[in-house]
Amino acid sequence: MCLGIPGQITELVDLEFLVAKVDIGGVKRDVIITCVVDDEHPAESCVGDWVLVHAGFAMSRLDEEEAARTLALLAELGDMQAEIDLMRQVGASA
């Protein structure tokens, strides 16, 4: 299973190799945008767009609403995992 994380393209880093800076939860990473660039969506116009990032690649575009829903769900999953970890710690010490 792979997990894609929504991020917003903030700047173009290298047009020749189609690399962009993407803000993923406040952390900016260089990401390959080859999979989301085409004649309809040229690289030069993608700053501000939301993309789904996996393993350093923008795999697809998504709208801001979908990105927000996905980020909220991931935050909930993180909170649930923290609770599970805490229960395991409490259970191990009992």
Q: Give per-residue pLDDT as tens, 29-86.
A: 999 999 999 999 999 999 999 999 999 999 999 999 999 999 998 888 888 888 888 8
- Is there a contact between 70 and 63 (Cβ–Cβ < 8 Å)? no
Give the contacts of 63 (CB within 8 A, at least 6 positions apart): 50
First vs last Cα of the chain: how many Å apart? Answer: 34
Question: Residue 91 pLDDT > 80, yes or no?
Answer: no
Q: Give the domain range for residue 53.
A: 5-93
- The answer to whether the predicted template modeling score (pTM) of the entire model surpasses 0.75 is yes
Say how many domains are in the chain: 1
Residue 5 burial (C-beta neighbours within 10 Å; 0-12, 13-18, 19+): middle
Closest by CA position to 62, among listed 73, 13, 77, 15? 73
3 state SS of 6: strand
3 state SS of 40: coil
CA 15 to the chain's CA centroid: 20
Q: Output the domain CATH number for residue 55.
A: 2.30.30.140
